[in-house]
Each structure stands twice: as C-alpha cells, then as structure tokens.
Amino acid sequence: MNSPELIKYQALVDELNHHARQYYVLDDPEISDGEYDKLYRQLLQFEKEHPEQVSFESPTQRVADAPLTHFEQIRHVVPMLSLGNVFTEEELHAFEQRITKRLQKETGESFSLVYAAEPKLDGLAVSIRYEQGILVQAATRGDGQIGENITVNIRTLPSVPLKLNTKQPPEVLEVRGEVVMLRSGFEAYNSWAEKHGEKVFANPRNAAAGSLRQLDPRKTAKRPLSFFAYSVGELVTEKHFGTHFEVLEWLATLGFQINQLNTLVKGLTGCSDFYHRIGQLRAQLDFDIDGVVYKVNDLSLQDTLGFVTKAPRWAIAHKFPAEEVTTVVEDIEVQVGRTGSITPVARLQAVTVGGVTVTNATLHNEAEIYRKDIRVGDTVFVRRAGDVIPEVVKVVKSKRPKNSQIFKMPTHCPVCNSLLFKEEGEAVLRCVNGMDCDAQRKESIKHFASRKAMDIEGLGDKLVDQLVDSGLIHTPADLYQLTEQQVAGLPRMAEKSAQNLLIGIENSKKSTLSRFLYALGIREVGEATALTLAQSMQTLENIMQADIDSLTALPDIGQVVSGHIIAYFKQPQNRTVISQLIGHGIQWPDIQKSDQNNQPLQGQTVVLTGKLNQMTRSDAKAALQQLGAKVTGSVSTNTDLLIAGENAGSKFTKAQSLGIKIVDEQWLIDTINQR
C-alpha cells in the first residue's frame, strides 16, 4: 500500500469504528445497516490485498480465528469488590446513618450526602485493561482476587473500544463494568439456538455468562452482548477527578457505554425515589436488573469511608424482590387454545415472584416438559421477568420425591375427547376438532369479541363461557341474534348488564376490514398481517379468493401463513359464519389504494425506535410511507414525529429534549386503521 492508500485505509477504519460506536454505544446510528456493510466490504477488500498492513484497530480484528484450550488465571491489581445489600427502606436508612456518623467522626463535619444512583445490572462483572490507550487484557471477576483471562472474547463486543477515543490516553486504565445480553437479543438468540440445535439459555444472565466462558471467540462474537462501564480499577493518569460522576463522564468520552439511567440524587429521599422510579421502569428495560446501587459521589469522602473486608463502605445495593424463586409443582394440567393447541400448565404452590403471587406457569409444550423433565411433586425454579408469563426455569433434582412419575401428555382432548395430533415439524399437539370442541369454540368467540378485534363491550370471558355452556351461541354469528330476554335469563345476570351487552354487540357492527379479518382468528394472522391483507387486497372477496402466489407476494406473508389463510376460507363452516356475520350487518368502510388526499403524515419526517410488538420494522416503515411520511434513521431538529416501541433508548431522550411529538406503536396501528 502506498501512503495515500494507507491514509485512505486508516480513514475507513476510523469511519467504521465511529459508526459502530454510534450504533452500539450511543444507540444513535447515522447510516443504515446497508451503508455500513458497504464500507465494511471495502475494508475487507483493502485488507485482502494488503494483509501486512491490517491495523489492530480494524473491526475485522475483533474476532480471533482459533479457539482457546483453557482460560488462563489473572490476578487483579486492584481487587474487584462486591457490594453490601439492603432490601428495605429501614435497612437503607441504617446504611445512611452509619456512613454519615462515620464521616462526622473522621472529619468533624456533618454532611448531607449526594449519591450516584445507578441500576444494578444483572450480568457478569468484568475488568478491561488499557495500556497507552490500547486494550491489552480483560478478565472476569472470579473470586475478586483472581479471575479468568477472557480478552479474546471481550474483544468481540462491539460496545468495547479496542482503542480509547483520546489523543492523551492514560498510561493504565482498568475499566470495570457489567456484560449483559440485552433481552431483545436474548430472545432472538434463543429462537435461533433452538432452530439450530444449540444450547438454549434460561435467562439473559446465564446467556451472558455462558457466552463469555466460551472457549471459541467466534461463537462469542455471534452472541448479542453489551458492556456497560460503572467504575475504574487501576488508573495511572495525570488527570484528577473530584467525583464518581466525573469519572463516568470521562469514560463516556473515551468511548464506553454508560447506563442512561445513572443520575445524581440527594440523601435518603433521593435514593428512595430513584429506587421506586427504576422499579416501575424495570419491566420495560431491555436489560435485566436486580436492584439499584447508590455510591457516595465525592471521591475524597469515598476515601475517608474506605472498605470493610470485601465491599466498600461508601456504596450499597438496594435489591428488588427476586424474579426467580423456588416452589413446588402440585399438578400438571393441559389447556386447549383457540386454534386447538394443547399447552401444559404447571399448578404451583402459591409463591411471590417479582412482587406478584404466582400459582400457574406455562410449560409451553410436550418437548419442553421432557427437556426440563418436570414432574408433579418437583421443586422448581420459577421466573417472572416484568410482564412476562411465569415460567418454570429448571427442576431442583435433589429435592425430587422418590416415587415421582414422568409426565405423560394426554392422547385425547381433555375437553371434547377427540384424538390429538401433531403436525410434521410442529412442537405442539393439537385438537383438530375445531368448532366442535367447546374449548376452541369458547376461545374463538372470546378472541372475536376482544378489544383489538370486534371490541364488543360487556362481553367478558366468563359470559362467553356461560353463553356457550347454556347453548345460546355456537359461533360468533349467533351473538348477533341474541335477545335481551335470553341474556337476562342467564344465572347471575342483571337486566342492565344484558342491555349493555346488546348495545355492545350492536356497536361492534361498525368495524374495519382488518379488525374483522383479525377477529376471525385465522392461525398466525395477527393484527399486522390482517392490516397488510386489508390494505393490499382491499376487499374481503379478494382475500377469500386469493391464491398462494398472490398471498406470498405480500410483504411479510410467507408460505405458512398463506397456507393457513387458504385453508381457513376453504372450510364451508367458516364461509357460512362469515356470510351470516355480514348478513347481520357487520360492515366497514371501503379501502382506497394509497390515496394522495388521505395521507395524514404527508410531508412529515418520522423516526422509528425501540422494539415493536405487533408489526415488523419493515411493515411499519412501509405503512408510514403509505401514510405519506418520510422515514429516517436518526432524530434531529428536522424530525416531526418519533414512534417509540418498547425499551426506546437515546432517540427517545433526544426527541424529548427537542420537544418532538412522541407516540407509540398502537397510535400507528390506529392511524392506519382510521384511513
């Protein structure tokens, strides 16, 4: 490489590292994935032609190409400490008393303390060492004195800089922090792992730990791991810092990711407010936390307070109620879902998990029960993270009763007694008795009436059970023929409620095509698919007649869903119910194709951020464009609207600070529906 070429190469390395930082550390990409890939390919080309010139900073150098045979042990120059814990406000109060008293005794002054308050990330503590600004070593915490050398694995994390972003690097800097697997990445990874026969992890913490203990860095590189810095170990620099927060701010300028929720608070009330605020946010965060940490912010006061054996006196962890606890499986039952799927459910001895009482946990399917070997009488770990349905994580085998029996799935439907089937390639057993199975009939009608479907007010789950059990309705169409007398005649039914139900049923007749499609409960046709179908095909007749080619040509509709749609409309019973429903007066406005005058977001610049639950990103983008919007990647003063999914990060904060209108995914769906 001649020198202009070399300069160009170095510039390309810098540019790629800059964009990786925008993406992984700051959550604020400036270019699309496609543009990044293009630059990356140019880099690969350069390096292929000049292998002798490859820079150690190049993003291609993150992943070593050979596995280790073992992890070497490393002694930490500055031990990695742990933290004391408190669980209650009283214990927190005692902590504050203890340290203010001690400070008064040592200095003769009295203090009202400022704390750095931080989420306590539930991952793995690591220490990463830089010499003259270059990453030279990374280690696990181990026992605090001696850890394992995991340098090759840590190098694969895109949020860890290989070189510090400064012209005057410290001689030595050991950055300490937590490696976590983001929840979104964890779910995506597990479904990939399941498909490819790789190990599925019980929770993001185990996944992060397992990934860092991988001897083959090429495997670690495939795991979505993220590093958050929260303190320093050995530090040799001429710089001086007065507070912990100044250190964190400096680390951020060097290129590290610092948790966005970290903040300064005053005294006990400040701590306690932070604890409650983060507790409320806990379920929405994209990373697991098991509490918050308070650290005396003033470094000279930290020095005065010093340490007890293994933990600093100047910091404390305030823990949240456990999200994983043990209890006993009292029984295993199976439930029949709307589409006949048979789901085993564990009935548990009541237990509090994450602050909520839990008595049931889903066991997903037969394979899952056998994989985890869950039996009646077993003591099990139950996990409930955020709003997620409680799950059995694993069995405590040592506590298994002697004569316990392996669970056997039923061969027949527990409700209609018909033989159960398993389709090829599917994990779930199914009752294929359709509407002749009372369980499926009830679940279908509940779905039909639900808020996102026909939204029938006054028709709750119990009432559906009663209406079906009493023989008053067999299909959703029968709802529209109910009389007030019939409903009022049901046990425990007041006249007023009967009237309200009939009003609710009447009101539901004015609907939209996409809601109606969704309400039919076709397998795998969720809200977003229903919306795509309605918008692209415009009439029910078109959809009912569509063939596999025209369906699979639509965005995000594959072979499997298309097959379900065609099979559904082929069934004569389904066609009858549909024509009865329309005969009873269900109607919706006509849909026009991309009408210029009906583009409520005409000319607006819109940004999407966070995780969407009901539609894919590409669907959302296409829908926004149909509404007239221009969709861009980053928030700026030109942005008119931010659509924020779950766990929205820095784009959300930036939009807030710029006073940009922020809406959620449901707003987008409603806007599309109103067209």
> Given the complex with ligand IVH, which of 8 and 276 has the nearer CB atom?
276
| Residue 464 interacting with ligand IVH (CB under 6 A) | no
Amino acid, single-letter form, for residue 190? N
Given 296, 315, 353, 439, the residue binding ligand IVH (CB under 6 A): 315
Please give the helix or strand (H or E) that residue 44 lies within, else none: helix 33-49
Task: Please name which of 280, 244, 278 lies closest in space to residue 261, comparing C-alpha atoms.
Answer: 278
| Residue 231 interacting with ligand IVH (CB under 6 A) | yes
Q: What are phi and psi of 135, to 5 degrees?
A: -65, 120
Say if CB 333 and CB 344 are below 8 A apart: yes
- Select which of 8, 38, 101, 120 is catalytic: 120
> Given the complex with ligand IVH, which of 145 and 349 has the nearer CB atom?
145
- Helix/strand number for the chain, H first, E second: 25, 22
Residue 285, SS3 per DSSP: coil
Rule CB under 6 A: which of 161-220 touch ligand IVH?
A: 178
| Residue 340 interacting with ligand IVH (CB under 6 A) | no
| Residue 312 interacting with ligand IVH (CB under 6 A) | yes
> Given the complex with ligand IVH, which of 125 and 420 has the nearer CB atom?
125
Residue appearing with tokens 């190469």: 9
Judged by CB under 6 A, the stretch of 75-83, 219-227, 276-284, 369-377 that binds ligand IVH is 75-83
Provide, rounded to whole angstroms, the least separation between the CB of residue 299 and ligand IVH: 13
Residue appearing with tokens 């039996």: 375
Task: Please name which of 423, 425, 415, 476 lies closest in space to residue 450, comparing C-alpha atoms.
Answer: 476
Total residues contacting ligand IVH by CB under 6 A comes to 15
Provide, rounded to whole angstroms, the least separation between the CB of residue 211 and ligand IVH: 16
Spatial CB neighbours of 521, under 8 Å, sequence gap ≥ 6 = 338, 339, 444, 447, 448
> Given the complex with ligand IVH, which of 289 and 672 has the nearer CB atom?
289
Provide, rounded to whole angstroms, the least separation between the CB of residue 415 and ligand IVH: 48
> Given the complex with ligand IVH, which of 257 and 327 has the nearer CB atom?
257
| Residue 364 interacting with ligand IVH (CB under 6 A) | no
Say if CB 8 and CB 14 are below 8 A apart: no
Judged by CB under 6 A, the stretch of 310-318, 398-406, 526-534, 593-601 that binds ligand IVH is 310-318
Residue 164, SS3 per DSSP: coil
> Given the complex with ligand IVH, which of 121 and 672 has the nearer CB atom?
121
Say if CB 458 and CB 435 are below 8 A apart: no
Judged by CB under 6 A, the stretch of 28-36, 79-87, 147-155, 508-516 that binds ligand IVH is 79-87
| Residue 317 interacting with ligand IVH (CB under 6 A) | yes
Provide, rounded to whole angstroms, the least separation between the CB of residue 285 and ligand IVH: 13
Alpha-carbon distance 257 to 443, whole Å?
Answer: 46
| Residue 125 interacting with ligand IVH (CB under 6 A) | yes
Provide, rounded to whole angstroms, the least separation between the CB of residue 233 and ligand IVH: 9
User: How far, in Å, are 47, 204, 375, 621 from residue 633 at the CA level?
Assistant: 30, 28, 49, 11
Rule CB under 6 A: which of 277-306 touch ligand IVH?
A: 293
Judged by CB under 6 A, the stretch of 31-39, 76-84, 547-555, 617-625 that binds ligand IVH is 76-84
Amino acid, single-letter form, for residue 40? Y
> Given the complex with ligand IVH, which of 40 and 241 has the nearer CB atom?
241
Q: The tokens of 105 are what?
A: 């005794």
Provide, rounded to whole angstroms, the least separation between the CB of residue 293 and ligand IVH: 4
120 in catalytic set = yes
Alpha-carbon distance 552 to 549, whole Å?
Answer: 5
Given 230, 250, 256, 516, the residue binding ligand IVH (CB under 6 A): 230
Given 16, 74, 81, 92, the residue binding ligand IVH (CB under 6 A): 81
How far does CA 656 lie from the centroid of its chain?
22
> Given the complex with ligand IVH, which of 178 and 665 has the nearer CB atom?
178
Residue 564, SS3 per DSSP: helix
Amino acid, single-letter form, for residue 463? L
Judged by CB under 6 A, the stretch of 5-13, 64-72, 117-125, 147-155 that binds ligand IVH is 117-125
Given 118, 378, 391, 443, the residue binding ligand IVH (CB under 6 A): 118
Q: The tokens of 629 are what?
A: 């919007």
Rule CB under 6 A: which of 82-101 touch ligand IVH?
A: 82-83
Alpha-carbon distance 526 to 530, whole Å?
Answer: 6
CA angle in degrees (0–180, nearest 5) for 625-630-631:
90
Please give the helix or strand (H or E) that residue 4 lies within, else none: helix 3-24
Alpha-carbon distance 300 to 319, whole Å?
Answer: 26
Contact residues: ligand IVH, CB under 6 A = 81-83, 118, 120-121, 125, 141, 178, 230-231, 293, 312, 315, 317
List, by residue number, the catalytic residues.
120
